[in-house]
Amino acid sequence: MRPGFSLFAAAVLALLLATVRAESPYRFFTWNVTYGDIYPLGVRQQGILINGQFPGPDIHSVTNDNIIVNVFNSLNEPFLLSWNGIQQRRNSYEDGVFGTTCPIPPGKNFTYILQVKDQIGSFYYYPSLAFHKAAGGFGGFRILSRPLIPVPFPEPAGDYTVLIGDWYKANHTNLRAVLDGGKTLPFPDGILINGRGSGATFNVQQGKTYRLRISNVGLMNSLNFRIQGHKMVLVEVEGTHTLQNTYSSLDVHVGQSYSVLVTADQPPQDYYVVVSSRFTSQVLTTTGILRYSNSGKPVSGPIPGGPTIQVDWSLNQARSIRTNLTASGPRPNPQGSYHYGMINTTRTIRLANSAGIVNGKQRYAVNSVSFIAPDTPMKVADYFKIPGVFRVGSIQDNPTGGGIYLDTSVMGVDYRTFIEIVFENNEDILQSWHLNGYSFFVVGMDGGQWSPASRNEYNLRDAVSRCTTQVYPKSWTAIYIPLDNVGMWNLRSEFWARQYLGQQFYLRVYTTSTSLRDEYPIPKNALLCGRASGRHTRPL
C-alpha cells in the first residue's frame, strides 16, 4: 500500500472516530402507561402507573444527551406526557401538550425524541391531558453537568428526587367531571411525598451531605418543605445554580423545582421531613422520615411548625433566591453570551389572571380570554398551513378589563427579540405561571399595581433564571425573556383546574427562516390528528 494512501486513510478514520465521539449519548426508555390501584391516602383509587410504578420512574441524564422515550398508551383514552422545564430547543413538536402534539390514542405508542440541549438541573414530567395529572403519571427528570464542567459544590453522598404535591382521594375522572360540570374543586384531602401520604423515607449516613431535588407536582397549593433539626442550602433552581443561601424551610410553589443540600450533622436518630400547605385557612400537613443509618431513636417531639399565611415572609425568601454568577452553566463559555440587564426590551406584555362564569360554568382566563383547545394542535396546523384552526393575535398584550370569553388564544412574538412580561394578579390567591420552551429572568416582584416606575426596583444583575414563577395575591411579577427558541409554546397557570378551564395560551415564536439552525421540521413519526389526519409528515 502506498504510504500516502495509508496516511490519508488513517486521517479519514481518525476524523470518523472524532465525529462518532462528538455525538451526544443516547438513553433509551420504554414505558407502558396503565391504570392501577393505588392507596396514597389509605383508600383505594385508580392511579396512572408507568411500568407499574407510582410515581413514575426517574429520568437520569447528562447535558446534551438524547433521550428516546417510547410510550405505550394502555389507558382507555388519549394520553400525552409533557416535560416540565425541558426546553425542546427548536423542537416544540415534542413538547407533549395539545397545542403542539397529537395525543397517543388508546392502544398505540409514540416515541418522544428529546435532547436536553445546553441544560442542567432538576425538572419533572407529567401527563398534560384530561386532568390525568390528578391520577399520577409524573416523575423526576434530572440533568447532570458533563464531567469536565465544574459544579459549585462537592459531589453529594446521595441524590434524592422528592416529589411533593396536594392530592385528592377521588379518582381523576370524578374531579374532571366536577370541572366539566362548571363547578370548582373542593379543598384537597392531603399531601403526598413521593406518592405516599406518610412514611416516605430518606436514608442518610451521619456526617455526609445529600442533594434533595424537590418538585411541587401538585394541583393547586403552594407547599412549605422543612426537615426537623436540619438546615438546607439552596444550590439550584430549575437549571440555574444559585447563591448558596441557607434556609430552615423553603416555599415550593406549584410547578416549581429546587435543589438543596442537607448535611446529616445531628445526633443519630430519625427526624421528621415535613410538608405543609401555604396560604390556606385549613393547613394540610404530611410527614416523611430522614433516617440516619446508625439511628438509635424513632422520630419524636412535636412536628416542626412552618409558615402558614405569611406572604411577606415568602416574598422576602423569593427575593433572596439569586443566580450564582461565579458558577458554570451547562457549558463553560456559551457562545453569544450576554448580560440580560444590559439589553433593552422591545415589547412589554402585561398578563392578568381572572375567574368568572361563562355560559353558567366556571372558567378562568388570561387577559379576559379563556382558552379552548381546537380540533388540531396549532403547531401541526401551522406546519401544514391548515386555515381556521387558530388566529395569531387572539389574545391582547394588555388586560382588557372586560368579561371573560372563549377563544383559542395565540399570541405572536418575533424570534430573537427580548421582551418583558408582567404577570398581574388582582385576585386573593397566590398564582403560579410556567412557560414551556424557555427559562426567563425573574427581575422583580412586589405587592400592589405594576407601573413603568416599578422597573426602578428590578434586579438587573443576578436575577434567577427559571421556567416557573409565582405571583403573590394582589401583586405582580416581572420577567425578561430572550426569544431564542422558535416554536409554539404553552404559557399557563400551574393551578391545574385553572389551566384545564382556560387559564393558558400559546406564545408563537415565529421566523420566516426555514433553516434547520432555527427550527427542526415536524418529526417523521409525528402522530397526526384532527384536520391533519391523512397527511404526511414528509413529502412523498
Instruction: From first to last of the 540 residues of the chain, give the pLDDT tens digit.
Output: 433 434 444 433 333 333 333 578 999 999 999 999 999 999 999 999 999 999 999 999 999 999 999 999 999 999 999 999 999 999 999 999 999 999 999 999 999 999 999 999 999 999 999 999 999 999 999 999 999 899 999 999 999 999 999 999 999 999 999 999 999 999 999 999 999 999 999 999 999 999 999 999 999 999 999 999 999 999 999 999 999 999 999 999 999 999 999 999 999 999 999 999 999 999 999 999 999 999 989 999 999 999 999 999 999 999 999 999 999 888 765 445 679 999 999 999 999 999 999 999 999 999 999 999 999 999 999 999 999 999 999 999 999 989 999 999 999 999 999 999 999 999 999 999 999 999 999 999 999 999 999 999 999 999 999 999 999 999 999 999 999 999 999 999 999 999 999 999 999 999 999 999 999 999 999 999 999 999 998 754
Round to whole Å and give the CA distance between 120 and 211. 15
Name the strand (E) or helix (H) holding 380: helix 378-384
Q: In 398-516, where does DSSP find H-type helix?
A: 496-500
Residue whose entry in the numeric block shows the C-alpha cell 431513636: 297
Judge whether 530 and 102 are in contact, CB under 8 Å: yes
Report all structural domains of the chain as residue ranges with CATH numbers, in order of start. 15-147 (2.60.40.420), 153-310 (2.60.40.420), 340-532 (2.60.40.420)
Q: Kindly report the CA angle at 183 between 179 and 186, in degrees rounded to 5?
A: 90
The cell numbers describing 513, all together, are 427562516
Q: Which of 186, 188, 189, 247 is nearest to 214 (CA)?
A: 247
Task: Judge contact between 138 and 216, C-beta under 8 A.
Answer: no
> What's the rounded Cα separation, in Å, for the pair 442 and 335?
22
User: Taking the CB of residue 452, how many other CB atoms lie within 10 A of it?
Assistant: 7
Best CA proximity match to 421, nearest among 360, 481, 338: 481
Burial of 25 by CB count in 10 Å (0-12 exposed, 13-18 middle, 19+ buried)? Answer: exposed
DSSP string, 256-281: -EEEEEEE--S-SSEEEEEEEESS-S
Distant-in-sequence, close-in-space partners of 440: CB < 8 Å, separation ≥ 6: 421, 465, 466, 467, 469, 479, 480, 481
Q: Distances from the Cα of 286 to the Cαs of 137, 214, 223, 378, in angstroms?
A: 21, 15, 11, 41
Tell me the β-bridge partners of 193. 164, 196
CA dist 99 and 230 (Å) reads 43
Rounded Cα distance, 382 and 132, in Å:
27
Establish whether the linkage from the previous residue to 377 is cis, with ω within 30° of 0.
no
Q: Pull the grid cell for residue 492.
A: 399557563
Total Cβ atoms within 10 A of residue 423: 25
Give the single-character DSSP code of 283: P
Cα distances (Å, whole numbers) of residue 238 to 202, 210, 394: 22, 18, 30
